[in-house]
Structure 1
Amino acid sequence: MTDTIFQASDLATKRVELLTAARSGLARVRDKDGTSLVMLPESRLHLLETLADWSQAAVRLEAIISRGAGRDVSALGDLAWLRVFDDEDLREFLAELQAALTAAHADGHVSVLEDCLQAWRTTARQLEDPLRRSILLGQHDPADFVTAPRPEDE
């Protein structure tokens, strides 16, 4: 595959070839002033923007964890929803986030990353409620549990 660079005038004369190249992944257009412009599928742009945003968030979170400021809402900023997690959970989230970023890049799609984030956000919402938090994180004695009779046995 050759890397064709179209000229601005090609937007009128070679639009089919230019669009075909863009649909295939990337089309370069050199503007009259020498500026290089790129045309690519919107889904690819969304992938690249999402990977960039969450990669930056992962680097920032790693720095926050290394400073021991995991629950500092101002340090977390837009990641403040993570404040309910302890340092061990934050490290686990970071590891899963990094794995999801790698998988999303390899897959060329953000679904695995979105699934990871949705699962962690759901858990964070559950941990915000004190009763649910005590149930999820509390100690449980097997003696606290009994076998429930079937409804038709009553």
Structure 2
Amino acid sequence: MTDLIFQSSDLANKRTEVLEAAREGLARVRDKDGTSLVMLPERRLRLLQEIARWSRAHMRLDDLLRRDAIPNVSDLGDLAWLRVFDADDLREFVEDLHNALVAAHSDEDTLALDECIKAWRITARQIEDPLRRSVLIGKSTSDDYIEVHEPQ
């Protein structure tokens, strides 16, 4: 990335150069009033928006958990789908989310972040059902299992 700054008149006179700079990652354009404007690929903007959104959520949840209280639905806000988890699970989510954010930033792709959120949402939906919850996190003994034979 260079420190090249285009003038607003360059949008008409040197539009291919401005667009090429934007395609390569970033084009700065100085408006007539001195405002600095930036043009970048939409994919990059979406990546930055998603990282910012989930970073805010990460910081908010991390802060709530540091208070040693289980956050209520109101505290969680748009993360209310996490209400089914206990404090240990929420801490694990915060750690997983942190790792996914680092990977998304490093990879310049939200795939790791999307997969992390999707997996936790699926788990939350499963745990919300009382029967599934008892199967997934309930206690089991050897009497709960039987030997299965191969079908004939």
TM-score (norm 2): 0.96
Equivalents in 2 of 1:69, 1:43: separation in Å? 38
Question: What residue number does 2:90 align with?
Answer: 90
- Confirm or deny: 8 A CA contact 1:51 1:105 kept in the other structure: yes
- Aligned-pair CA distance for 1:64: 1.1
Asked whether 1:46 is paired with 2:60, we answer no
Structure 1 unpaired stretches of 5+: none
Q: Provide the C-alpha distance between the structure 1 equivalents of 2:79 and 2:143, rounded to a whole number of angstroms.
A: 39
Residue 144 of structure 2 corresponds to residue 144 of structure 1: yes
Q: Secondary structure at the match of 1:151?
A: coil
The answer to whether the Cα contact below 8 Å between 2:7 and 2:30 also exists between their aligned partners in 1 is yes
Match of 1:4 in 2: 4
**Between the two proteins, what is the percent identity of the paired residues?**
61
Q: Which amino acid aligns with 2:18?
A: L
Q: What amino acid does structure 1 have at the position aligned with 2:30?
A: R
Aligned length: 152
Which residue pairs with 2:134 in the alignment?
Answer: 134
The CA deviation at 1:151 is 2.4
Separation (CA, whole Å) in 1 of partners of 2:151 and 2:109 = 46
Amino acid at match of 1:95: E
Bigger shift: 60-69 or 102-111? 60-69
- What is residue 31 of structure 2 aligned with on the other side? 31
| Conserved? CA contact 1:82–1:124, under 8 Å | yes
The residue type paired with residue 22 of structure 2 is A
SS in 1 for 2:34: coil
Cα pair distance change 1:71/1:129, threshold 3 Å: farther
What amino acid is the match of 2:123? T
| Partners of 2:70 and 2:46 in 1: CA distance | 29
Matched, 1:123 2:123: yes
TM-score under structure 1 normalisation? 0.95
Alignment partner of 1:38: what SS? strand
